[in-house]
Structure 1
Amino acid sequence: MRRFAALLAFLAPAAWGGDPAAWHPEAATLCLVPPYDQTATPAQRSALALLDAIERLDPAPDPLLEVLHRNGTALCIEDRPTTVRGAYNVDRNLIELSADLDFGERLLILIHELRHLDQYGRGFCPSTDFDLKEVTRFTYMVEADAQAVATYYAWKLKGAGQPEAWDAIARLKEYADIGAVFADSVLQGASPEDAVTAAFEAWFTSPWRVETYRLSSCAAYLDRLDETKRLRSYAPLPDDYFTGLCTLPGGAAYACTPPE
């Protein structure tokens, strides 16, 4: 199973279809699927409330929700024990959100995973075509970008009278520092793009984040080599590989520097 995971939290995704039980025997009640209007179960109503919160942001329609609709990705509440708060499950084309989260945490994680869905659709996906160290660098970039964008959205939601996702950042000790850096940048008069740049750079200041995602990316890379029986590659990423990654939903670019 290949997933972009949010520890707070690889092939074009196929449209939602097939047997939902392939993911979970109760998927029919735990998942909100296109056209995203089911309200038959508590899980579906919970997922729909998250989408409604994002939908109320201006300008509408929201770019990340447009990506969700375009891909037909299911939004599912994971009620089984899990070590991650959320994940984008590429093989099943669904986003998993832990049932243990409150509304604000779930909304924040959803935005993070929607950003991964957006990244994937723009061609930013892990590959064993490159050296392990490069794949680790890739992981750092997409995670820093996803968290910076999620922080930006949480700030926008707060400004629109929906503070739950922003409040959740402060409660998540692994990421509270990123929210603090973003808020300080805004209060100092930074533009949204510059505040996102500050949040992106703040991601790399945590030894826990750097080491946790290094180990995660290494394990996934080696598992993939084992599954495919491929020889390990030592190829570097192209010099311009990350061009276009650091673009806010809506089109504005922000500055980001790949780590060495």
Structure 2
Amino acid sequence: MIAPPALTIVLIALAGAAGAETRCMTPPYVPEGEKGHEIAAMISAIDPLREGFPDLFMAFDTVGPEVCLVDGAVEVRGYLDSESGRIVISADTERDGRVVILLHEMRHLLQRERGYCPSNEVSMEEAARAVLAYEADAMASTTAAAWELHAMGMPGPWNWLSVEWTRYSDIADAYAKVRTGGDQRVAMEAAFAAWYGSDWRVHRYWRASSMDYLDREEAGHLLRSYDSLPEDHFANLCTMPDGSAYTCDVPPPPDR
């Protein structure tokens, strides 16, 4: 598949503004300097999830991506470079928020390893429909992970997701209503569906995906495709932390 520069937490766009300084770490993520310690702390914060989220960490450990903090004005909270697997997170985000963004981009990394990247091999509408599903799944996984950290006595990421991150807190609410005394699978299904409940999310991502599609088309001198996604395209997208499936009903394109 033809991949875009980045899968982001807010929009499909590169987070790079003039004057921004980027600090990165590579495996084994041993810190050198203040920024190194901040990155190492992010990675250490999610380590308790290893046993319960094996697929997420398998992709992370296999790729061994650069993990970066970017200082200064940036366009997004974080993104995954889908070509290199590099994860970049805004240093302006609070510490608990950085953990949430890291978990989100790790899910995109797992999607990437499974072949789920935006593509010009289908129509622009179908490509955008796929991107929305990738984001909904990433948020369902992120919400489940933050909930588990809270259950382990580390409430910070969950509190940031459910209270501070107001554009996405409705997803946390939908998850919590089901998960409290209930089943994780059904809670993830509720979180996935809730992602589509925000017109802001749907239309912003739809527009961003369409712009990215046109950019790839122009850069690659590609002929426009009008094909649909394969019927089984989403078969391996929506998975539980243990790798088993949860049901994700991907809706048709939104009215524009």
TM normalised by structure 1 equals 0.88
Contact 1:29 1:41 in 2 (8 A): no
DSSP-derived class of the 1:56 partner:
helix
Equivalent of 1:7, from 1, 10, 19?
10
CA RMSD of the aligned region, Å? 2.2
Q: Does 1:172 align with 2:165?
A: yes
Question: What is the match of residue 13 of structure 1?
Answer: none
Aligned residues between the structures: 244
Runs of 4+ in structure 1 over 3 Å off:
26-29, 60-63
Question: What is the match of residue 196 of structure 1?
Answer: 188
Question: What is the match of residue 208 of structure 2?
Answer: 216
Question: What is the match of residue 68 of structure 2?
Answer: 76
Question: What is the match of residue 100 of structure 1?
Answer: 92
Question: What is the match of residue 184 of structure 1?
Answer: 177
Find the aligned partners of 1:119 and 1:30 in 2 and give their Cα distance. 25
What amino acid sits opposite 1:258 in the alignment?
Answer: V
* Larger RCO of the pair (alpha carbons < 8 Å, separation 6+): 2
Q: CA deviation at 1:27?
A: 11
Contact 1:8 1:84 in 2 (8 A): yes
Find the aligned partners of 2:42 and 2:32 in 1 and give their Cα distance. 16
Q: Does 1:44 align with 2:36?
A: yes
Q: CA deviation at 1:93?
A: 2.8
Contact 2:52 2:241 in 1 (8 A): no
Q: CA deviation at 1:149?
A: 0.5
Question: What is the match of residue 83 of structure 2?
Answer: 91
Q: Does 1:142 align with 2:172?
A: no
Contact 1:31 1:77 in 2 (8 A): yes
Contact 1:29 1:43 in 2 (8 A): no
TM normalised by structure 2 equals 0.89
Contact 1:8 1:172 in 2 (8 A): no
| CA offsets 1:23-55 (integer angstroms, 9 cap, x no match) | 99x99981110122x211222111111111111
| CA offsets 1:138-183 (integer angstroms, 9 cap, x no match) | 0110000000100000000000111111011121111010101111
Contact 1:73 1:95 in 2 (8 A): yes
Q: Does 1:154 align with 2:131?
A: no
| CA spacing shift, 1:166–1:60, aligned 2, 3 Å | closer
Contact 1:30 1:41 in 2 (8 A): no
Gaps of at least 5 residues in structure 1 are 10-22
Q: CA deviation at 1:253?
A: 1.4
Identity %: 36
Find the aligned partners of 1:186 and 1:228 in 2 and give their Cα distance. 45
Question: What is the match of residue 119 of structure 1?
Answer: 111
DSSP-derived class of the 2:88 partner:
strand
What amino acid sits opposite 2:166 in the alignment?
Answer: K
